Amino acid sequence: MAVSHRLFKLFSPLTAQKNTLSSLLIRSLSSSSPHGPSLDPEIDLKEAAAELEKSTSLSPSPSPSKGRNFHWVFLGCPGVGKGTYASRLSTLLGVPHIATGDLVREELSSSGLLASQLKELVNHGKLVPDEFIISLLSKRLEAGKEKGESGYILDGFPRTVTQAEILEGVTNIDLVINLKLREEALLAKCLGRRICSECGANYNVACIDIKGGDDEDASPRMYMPPLLPPPNCESKLITRADDTEEVVKERLRVYHKMTQPVEEFYRKRGKLLEFELPGGIPQSWPKLLRALHLEDDKQSAIA
Ligand SMILES: Nc1ncnc2c1ncn2[C@@H]1O[C@H](COP(=O)(O)OP(=O)(O)O)[C@@H](O)[C@H]1O
């Protein structure tokens, strides 16, 4: 695919790029919209899209033994388990798991104006501007390409229809897995999430037990046991700053408003696989593998 000359502008020295992104964030933060950042003039988004186009252009397959070149996307509300299942599939299929939330958090850990502006958005449950997230994703894909990575499982991207349109313009997504979980469990799962500050592993201290109804058509009982850390992680657990009740509720609201239309975007294109999680990992993982037709040849590789 042809790459626009505008790329040169985007790959200009980091400080110049950060200034653009910084002013973008200032505009987003001062926006009066209750729904998060407003989109900016076409030119920034076009530049970010051109950058994404470059990073998704095909590189020679690094290793034929790695099999198919998966281009998958995980959709789903905050707390549904996108990270858990995307990471397991990534190990199973030998493709990178790219979570835009992790890319954003890495950016937050740096110091400076940009990081503090970004923190304001994230810690209030808002989305960061499309241009910014596309630029972060492009950099991650470009770095992966240099290391010989091929394919990916995207988690947390696309989250707006604009992001989905841009992604569609630069690459062909094979499958979009839309994870679903009962709304009552989502908040509890976010509030119970703990992360090991040393190794980055995710745990959950919540024990979710939703009683089933008596009626024939009522939902069955749902039990999700806690996923507790091993002793060496126990003393190093941290909670994400955006996993408070108020912010999770805002993230859920933003998901319904901004990301649910993305489900429809892929549904119309026949790419959406709806997957209702029946419970915790022991119940859900084998069922997900069956839904993906991965149970026969791959199950032996599961940890
Ligand atoms: N594709 C995206 N577009 C805009 N903002 C994003 C995107 N991905 C991540 N973020 C930002 O990072 C935060 C954390 O993302 P993530 O870890 O995926 O959270 P969640 O648990 O809500 O799915 C989001 O609330 C948002 O501020």
Q: Indicate whether residue 100 lines ligand 1 (CB < 6 A).
A: yes
Find out whether the beta carbon of 136 lies less than 6 Å from any atom of ligand 1. Answer: no
Provide the annotated active-site residues. 82, 159, 193, 240, 251
State whether ipTM is beyond 0.85. yes
Q: What is the pLDDT of residue 195?
A: 94
pLDDT surpassing 50 at residue 24: no
Amino acid in position 147:
K
Q: Are 108 and 118 in contact (CB under 8 A)?
A: yes
User: How far is the centre of ligand 1, averaged over its atoms, from the C-alpha of 243 (Å)?
Assistant: 12
* 145, 51 contact by CB (below 8 A): no
Q: From the CB of 75, is ligand 1 less than 6 Å away? A: no
State in Å: Cα 115 to ligand 1 middle: 15
Q: What is the DSSP string of 174-224?
A: -EEEEEE--HHHHHHHHHHEEEETTT--EEE---EEEPPPSSTTSPPPEEE
Question: What tens digit of pLDDT does each residue of 166-212 get?
Answer: 999 988 999 999 999 998 899 999 999 999 999 989 999 999 998 87
